[in-house]
Amino acid sequence: MNTNDSDAIRGLITAWADAITARDIDGITGRYTADTVLFDAIPPYKTIGRSAIRQAWIDCLPHFPERFTTDLRDVVVQVSGDVAWSHFLLHFTPIGAEHPCGQTWMRTTVAWRRRSGAWVVEHEHVSLPFNPMTSQTWFIRDPAVVDMPDFTCAGDGPNAQGR
Amino acid sequence: MNTNDSDAIRGLITAWADAITARDIDGITGRYTADTVLFDAIPPYKTIGRSAIRQAWIDCLPHFPERFTTDLRDVVVQVSGDVAWSHFLLHFTPIGAEHPCGQTWMRTTVAWRRRSGAWVVEHEHVSLPFNPMTSQTWFIRDPAVVDMPDFTCAGDGPNAQGR
């Protein structure tokens, strides 16, 4: 039963990625609810509810490459009863012309609940880490390379935020 | 039953925050497992397993203010059976001298599983959003203010990463 639910959620994640590639707004946002709390990679720091998330996608899709694929890796899913969580890495790969969106993978966590028999997304968190010495994002160019800045140079100066 | 589990997880989150304030490394890291996948706010983009997470805390605690409180808000918890997820905002408030760590709240998602009767953290995701026009982090100075950059100035230039 849990294996089936886990497979179902993996299928929903793949379908979501495919919907992004297809610029299919209904497919991208179909699993969000009126209460979903999205912590997106870019501001605002939170977006609440399907219609606000839908508008954010409408606003950002024009900045995507003309053609691209949406790639997933390192997908982990845990399910018990009517609650599940999943995390994975997400990448947009431009086809043809270069585009800055292809520079980094993004860390994604999705928190699920089954309502009336259907899995919905109640929370999603997408991010990149940042270098506390410069406050600049730290791109994940190759997930196989777990690199980091030289924090030993940070000292206790104004950018040493600690965590 | 679920209410009790939800309360238990809220208690674990509060205890974790108190352990940070107390610089109690065992208390901070006691719920992680050998497999926990941490997507932390700062690089590396992932840290896997309790001993690596423990080392990261040992390395970063010296950069915290001498005295501070650890504050939580907007805590949401969902539980079913042996799986749960939670999200909240986290803030370190320096006591006495000013310190840069007090400048922002951080978005935190924690994914739980009950193993041998005890709730453990199998995944944690901490982040700030970033401004895609500058690649700079976007501080959450006041969670009541859901502000954002003026993306309409971004166009399709090199910093318009779309998402």
Among B39, B54, B60, B64, most A C-beta atoms within 10 A, so best to mutate, is B39
A95 touches chain B (CB under 8 A): no
Residue of B nearest to A60 (CA): B162
- Give the confidence band of B2 by pLDDT, cuts at 50, 70, 90: low
Asked if pLDDT for residue A157 goes beyond 80, the answer is no
The CATH code that applies to domain B2-144 is: 3.10.450.50
* Minimal C-alpha gap between B57 and chain A (Å): 8
A103 CB neighbour count, 10 Å cutoff: 17
In the stretch 7-26 of chain B, residues with CB closer than 8 A to chain A read: none
Alpha-carbon distance of B109 to B146, in angstroms, equals 19
Cα B82 to Cα A72, A77, A100, B1, B33, distances in angstroms: 26, 13, 41, 11, 16
The residue ranges of every structural domain in chain A are 2-128
Q: Is residue A7 over pLDDT 70? A: yes
User: pTM to 2 decimals?
Assistant: 0.92
Q: What ipTM did this prediction achieve? A: 0.92
pLDDT tens digits, residue range B79-96? Answer: 999 999 999 999 999 999
Radius of gyration, alpha carbons of chain A: 17
Residue A148 sits at the vertex; the CA angle it makes with A70 and B107, to the nearest 5 degrees, is 65
- Chain B hits for A80, Cβ within 8 Å: 80-83, 113
pLDDT computed for residue B159 by the predictor: 34
Q: Average of pLDDT values for A2-25? A: 95
Question: Above 60 in pLDDT, residue B158?
Answer: no
- Determine the pLDDT at residue A150: 84
Percentage above 70 pLDDT, chain A: 91
Half-sphere exposure (Cβ direction) of B48: Cα atoms closer than 13 Å? 3
Whole-number pLDDT of residue A153: 54
Q: What is the pLDDT of residue A163?
A: 35
Work out the pLDDT band at B156, boundaries 50, 70, 90: very low
Would you state the pLDDT for residue B152? Answer: 65
Residues 6+ apart with CB under 8 A from B139: B103, B104, B128
CATH architecture of the domain covering A2-128: Roll (3.10)
- The pLDDT of A85-112, averaged and rounded, is 95
